[in-house]
Structures are given as C-alpha cells and as structure tokens.
Amino acid sequence: MENYFEPQMEKRAVNEISALGLAHVGDGVFELLVRTALCTGGRATQTSLHKATVRQVSAPAQAARMERMLPLLTEEELDYYRRGRNAHAHHSIPKNASRDQYAKATGLETLFGALYLLGQRDRILELFTLTMEETNAI
C-alpha cells in the first residue's frame, strides 16, 4: 500500500515531475502547515482562521517569505525554486499579486512539493518555522 502521507520518492522520479506538478503538491503542503500552525496557535473562530490562512497563503505573502528563505537554501533547493519561479504558470495571476510575486510564490510551492515528495519533511519544517518566526505571522 502506498503511503501518501509520507512519500519518499527517488530524486530521479521527482525530477521527472513538472515544476507545476511539484507546485501543485507544494501548495497543499504549505497550506496544511499554515492551517496547522494557526490552529495550534490558538486561533479560535472559523472566520479568523480563514482570514489568517488566506493572508498567509497569498502570493504576496509567499513571495515575501521566499525572499527571506533564499539565503537558507542549498544549491539543490535553489534549483527547485528556480524551476518553479520560471515555470510558465503566469497566465492566471491573482489580482492582488504582481507577476514577480506570483513567480516567487510558485517557486516556493515547487520547492516544498519537491522536498515533500523526497521525504525531507524535517527540512520543510525547518524552512517554514524559520520564515514564520521571522515574520511573526502566526
């Protein structure tokens, strides 16, 4: 039985997934981390949880977080980030984001998707925690 909660794919297999496929997974990983941090941080009402989540997972917020994360990345992690940032997913940019912010947010999601599929959950948590603490976002 495949363990979808804790995948551990080989690097070769992860590299065969498109940047947008990795971003699709990474979007879910990032949002789950934000939601978990908000719930465990004592956000009580559904309204405040939803607003705080939307604020944290928006492209501008992800782009700002990515800027702070860049110096922390290894060369391999930077490669995944650049794959996502340079992906041609910029035809549906949200109204509240610039093209540059959307590209950086896609890069963050691609990085988190790759790390998740590679089984590097400790590294995801490290990057997430460092950047969340810096922003006092949660």
Which residues are tagged catalytic?
27
Q: Tokens at residue 87, please?
A: 């992906």
Side-chain-side CA neighbours of residue 77 (13 Å): 16
Cβ atoms of residues 52 and 43 within 8 Å = yes
For residue 135, count other CB atoms closer than 10 A to its CB. Answer: 12
In whole angstroms, what is the distance from residue 25 CA to residue 4 CA? 11
Cβ atoms of residues 31 and 53 within 8 Å = yes
Residue indicated by tokens 């490290």: 126
